[in-house]
Amino acid sequence: MNKFCADLHVHTVLSPCAEVEMIPPLIVQRAVELGIDLIAITDHNASANVSAVQKAAAGSSLKVLAGMEVQTREEVHLLCLFDSAQQLEAWQASVDAALPDERNRPEFFGEQFVVDEYGDYIRTEPRLLLTSTRFSIDEVFERVTALGGLALPAHVDRAANGLFPTLGLVSEQWRLLGFEISRHITPAKARAAFRSIGNLPLIQSGDVHRLDEFAASTFFTLAERTVEEICKALKGEGGRSVAVQSGADK
């Protein structure tokens, strides 16, 4: 078992709201500088830059997980994490079919760039990514779990698209293994504010849209850096665990 510092919520230039600096080599460089061992690339309803960041991290100390931040029809954001490119591809195909066929308007929402591992431009994603899919939260849990992935409600404390301010409660139907909190709240404050968290574990992420937004405060004890292992850590299985540590006691 090893202890790994993780930030599982990182955007790239494919997300219209991310800064232009969020290109693969700079994301990898910054994460490594901060001592982060594990990140997930989670663009809004999209995943076309995942492999570029994975290539950019090849040979470095950083492991990059495949992911997406999906928006449900309740306007709640969920992190979806996968171990394989095949799982991600299958999930992306479902999401593509569940996204409204609207064009992005870069002047209002921002540009959506697909890039290579050097950050060089490949194409512009024309579809509007910053909107809701037709999937309910129930369906996202069902589908992602069926694919062998992990779904976690993102920044549950945030007014815009966070689970608790948006919807208030959790459902028994969801296969909840934990919640993500934002950089702007501590685990203790989140647990006090949102009783529905109960005894489930928390992770904290940067929801990184700029290079200075990494949280680097979540530590997993895992046998290896995979989504499967993260699921075990969230369930507290076999000596695996997760903890959020603030800057002071890190």
Partner 1 sequence: MNLQQIIEQLELTILTEPRDFASIYPVGGYTSDLLSCVMAGAKGNYIWVTLQSHLNIVAVAGLLEVAAVIITENAQPDAATIAKANEQGVTLLSTPKTTYEIDGRLWELGIRLPA
CB of 16 to partner 1, least distance (A): 9
CB of 166 to partner 1, least distance (A): 9
- Which residue from 204, 241, 207 is spatially nearest to 222, judged by alpha carbons? 241
On whether the CB atoms of residues 218 and 35 are closer than 8 A, the answer is: no
CB of 103 to partner 1, least distance (A): 11
> What secondary structure letter does DSSP report for 127?
B
Q: DSSP 3-state assignment of 75? A: coil
Sheet of strand 38-41: strand arrangement: 150-153, 77-82, 63-71, 38-41, 2-10, 218-222, 241-244
Q: DSSP 3-state assignment of 225? A: coil
Nearer to partner 1, 42 or 71 (CB): 71
Nearer to partner 1, 74 or 139 (CB): 74
* Contact partners, residue 189, CB within 8 Å, separation at least 6: none
Residue numbers at the binding site for partner 1 (CB under 8 A): 71, 73-75, 100, 102, 105, 108-109, 130-132, 159-160
- Which residue from 235, 197, 72, 91 is spatially nearest to 138, judged by alpha carbons? 72
CB of 159 to partner 1, least distance (A): 6
Nearer to partner 1, 44 or 191 (CB): 44
Nearer to partner 1, 133 or 218 (CB): 133
CB of 13 to partner 1, least distance (A): 18
Nearer to partner 1, 92 or 132 (CB): 132
